[in-house]
Amino acid sequence: MGKVRKIKRHQKFDYNRDRKKKRRKAKQVPSIQCDEIKKAWDVKKSVKKNLEDMGIAADSNKILKLPRSKPLKMGTLDVEMEVDLQKTPVKKFVMDDLEERAKIPGKKKMSMSDEDAGFCTYMLDKYGDNYKAMARDERNYYQETPKQIQRKINRFKSIPEMYKIYAEARQGESSMDS
């Protein structure tokens, strides 16, 4: 009979790996991008204890005790979720700061690739609002339908930075022709 393939072979020392350096790096404080958490971080405590003091869950599965997906016996599905909310965090200001930060609405930045913007300007210059003619144009490489082209041009018009440049260039050309 043949040998089992996964026999522990003789381990060779890896000269390219510095174990002391690796251990030191593992012991370092993790890099934290969030300013609120960074301010309240205590280097002497573990990650789990730090997050617990701030009122943040290190493992959400342990905080929210969900019922089993399959009941133990038939008809015992009425198990309620248990949430331990009695612990008040030591550093409550972190949670308050994070909640305030979450309430601030983010700016929706709309953008379009230069290739698509060039396509839209070309089509608007040549055909105006005739989307069927745009769909038949030889520059319509991706064979977009008139409706798809219309959506793309409407998106181009809804981006103020790009459409403003296009509109000003067209205004300048029309005033030079007169």
pLDDT attached to residue 71: 62
What tens digit of pLDDT does each residue of 93-107 get? 898 999 999 999 888
Could you list the pLDDT tens digit for every one of the 178 residues in the chain? Answer: 555 666 666 778 889 999 999 998 888 767 889 898 989 988 888 888 998 899 888 888 887 777 767 666 655 555 454 545 556 778 888 989 999 999 998 887 888 999 999 999 999 999 999 999 999 999 999 999 999 999 999 999 999 999 999 999 988 877 766 5
pLDDT attached to residue 132: 97
> What ranges do the domains of the chain cover?
24-101, 114-177
Q: How far is residue 13's CA from residue 109's CA, in Å, rounded to a whole number?
A: 52
Q: How far is residue 103's CA from residue 138's CA, in Å, rounded to a whole number?
A: 48
DSSP assignment letter at 79: P
> Is 140 in contact with 152 (CB distance < 8 Å)?
no
**H-helix segments, the chain:** 19-27, 35-40, 47-54, 60-63, 92-103, 114-127, 131-136, 146-158, 160-177
Q: Per the confidence metrics, is the pTM higher than 0.75?
A: no
Give the angle subtended at the CA of 61 by the CAs of 60 and 66, to the nearest 5°: 120
